[in-house]
A and B are shown apart, each in its own frame.
Chain A
Amino acid sequence: QTIVTQEPSFSVSPGGTVTLTCGLTSVSVSTTYYPTWYQQTPGQAPRTLIYSTNTRSSGVPDRFSGSILGNKAALTITGAQADDESDYYCVLYMGSVWVFGGGTKLTVL
């Protein structure tokens, strides 16, 4: 069974930069997995941030960016703000099925 891995938690200072990653247990993540990133706050539906590795969804500020770093997909937040404190999920396309990572809880402090 393929597992999509994310850091369980991360912290960043206000104004700082943080990079969250999304990997696979057995192979490298590439653009062919169409990595997609979501932000979710408690009690709310997910918000789409980045799709197909590095395309920002409509209305998403450019301080959110996506890329491939080494063998993982990455979400970078520059100039972190207090309301970036959320759960972040990546999802990968594994040949007709989507598989979510376990999510990263980002704290801004």
Chain B
Amino acid sequence: QVQLVQSGAEVKKPGASVKVSCKASGYTFTSYDINWVRQATGQGLEWMGWMNPNSGNTGFAQKFQGRVTMTRNTSISTAYMELSSLRSEDTAVYYCARAITMIRGAPMGYWGQGTLVTVSS
């Protein structure tokens, strides 16, 4: 079965960067896009961007352009999301989510368990 296992909680200071990992299993990692979505406490879901694990191509929400990087290591079926210049408003649970089909632009279908990132001085 499809599983996405994310790295553990992080605490970072303002201005620092955080890198969250998402290890995939149960399917061919390079065949489905990976999206990243975040959720601040008590707030709604916010789409950050996508990555094609085969090509490494990425696309981001305008809000995160220049501050987010999405990469992968195909040898270990793991995707990464790095967010830089952290501020308190970036405190949130970050989810990786695999596309539900192989079609480019397919919606998020399978979700990781989430990683809490806390930004605090």
Residues of A within 8 A of B (CB): 34, 36, 38, 40, 45-48, 51-52, 57, 89, 91, 93, 96-103
Give 14 A-B pairs besides A34-B105, A46-B45 with Cβ atoms closer than 8 angstroms.
A45-B114, A46-B97, A48-B107, A51-B100, A51-B109, A89-B45, A91-B47, A91-B108, A96-B59, A97-B47, A97-B59, A98-B47, A99-B47, A103-B44
Given the contacts A45-B95, A101-B44, A93 and B114 also touching, CB distance less than 8 Å: no
* Chain A CB within 8 A of B30 CB: no
Residues of B within 8 A of A (CB): 35, 37, 44-47, 50, 59, 61-62, 95, 97, 100, 105-114
Neighbouring B residues of A52 by C-beta, 8 Å: 107
Neighbouring A residues of B44 by C-beta, 8 Å: 89, 100-103
Contact call B45/A103, Cβ cutoff below 8 A: yes
Minimum CB–CB distance for A34 against chain B, Å: 6
Residue with the highest number of chain A CB atoms closer than 10 Å, among B35, B37, B45: B45
Neighbouring B residues of A45 by C-beta, 8 Å: 95, 111-114
State the CA gap A99–B63 with chains docked (Å): 12
Q: List 27 A-B contacts (CB under 8 A).
A: A36-B108, A38-B45, A45-B112, A46-B37, A46-B95, A46-B108, A46-B111, A48-B108, A48-B109, A48-B110, A48-B111, A52-B107, A89-B44, A91-B47, A91-B107, A93-B105, A97-B47, A97-B59, A97-B61, A97-B62, A98-B50, A98-B107, A99-B47, A101-B44, A102-B44, A103-B44, A103-B45
Contact call A91/B61, Cβ cutoff below 8 A: no
Contact call A100/B47, Cβ cutoff below 8 A: yes
| Main SS class of interface, B | strand
Interface contacts (Cβ under 8 Å), in number, total 61
Contact call A57/B35, Cβ cutoff below 8 A: no
Contact call A36/B107, Cβ cutoff below 8 A: yes
State the CA gap A24–B109 with chains docked (Å): 22
Neighbouring A residues of B108 by C-beta, 8 Å: 36, 38, 46, 48, 91, 98
State the CA gap A97–B59 with chains docked (Å): 8
State the CA gap A50–B38 with chains docked (Å): 20
